[in-house]
Amino acid sequence: MAEATNELMYELLKRMQHDLTELRADVSEVKTELNVIRGHMIGIQTDIHNIYGILSRHDDRLDRIERRLELREMAESPQKPYDPNA
């Protein structure tokens, strides 16, 4: 009776060891995938940061252009200021 119990326990422990080995491999794979996702997120964040920088420069350029147009309008007709809606 003790031998059957020992064999049963041995088989159970072997199965548990196999399952734990598979679980470790799966966790390792999930960690790798998370690192890949983290890398993509950092790339996206960098791209968005660059886009904001470009938009900011375009906004500055448009402000300068609008000021120059306003000065030009005032020089051509001092009685009415530049109206962007007109």
Separation in Å, CA 73 to CA 60, 63, 69, 86: 20, 15, 6, 12
On whether the CB atoms of residues 80 and 70 are closer than 8 A, the answer is no
Distance separating alpha carbons of residues 34 and 49, to the nearest angstrom: 22
What are the two backbone dihedrals, phi and then psi, of residue 78, each rounded to the nearest 5 degrees? -65, -20
Q: Residue 82: how many CB atoms within 10 A of its CB?
A: 15
Predicted confidence (pLDDT) per residue in 37-85, tens digit: 999 999 999 999 999 999 999 999 999 999 998 877 777 665 666 677 7
Which contiguous run of DSSP H or E holds residue 26?
helix 2-76
Q: What is the pTM of this model?
A: 0.59
